[in-house]
Amino acid sequence: MDVRIYYEDTDAGGVVYHSRYINFLERARTEFLRQHGQSVAALHDQGVIFPVVGIDVKFRSPARLDDLLEVTTRIAQVKNRSFVAHQQVKRKADDKLLVDAHVALACVGEGMKARSIPQELRELLVSLLV
């Protein structure tokens, strides 16, 4: 997924504010699922929600105003009730790695109680393991 950097994404130093990367990662996971035939909205309507329960982010280099970034998502681990996405943010102009993240997501249902990942989705995630 491509992301263009705008003024609203930067801090007083003129670089992307660190929390904006979390938003970019979230959007990229949603688009990743959409590209593989899964709608986050439809899952939500079925009572299947994936909150982030852990995140390990390494900020390697800053992005700046007007940079065009590419955010990639790969599935690193799948369990019955959770999965881990490995995500990277690179600047498209020079392919420089800016952010490297591992994001752990739990599957929860009504009342935010842990539940199994629906079988069809779990099979898809397993098929996409790297």
**Residue from 9, 11, 56, 66 carrying the catalytic annotation:** 11
First to last CA, the chain: 18
Question: Residues, the chain, total?
Answer: 130
User: 47 in helix, strand or coil?
Assistant: coil
CA distances from 15 to 25, 50, 89, 99, 129 (A): 17, 30, 14, 13, 33
Q: Is 100 annotated in the active site?
A: no
By annotation, the residues acting in catalysis are 11
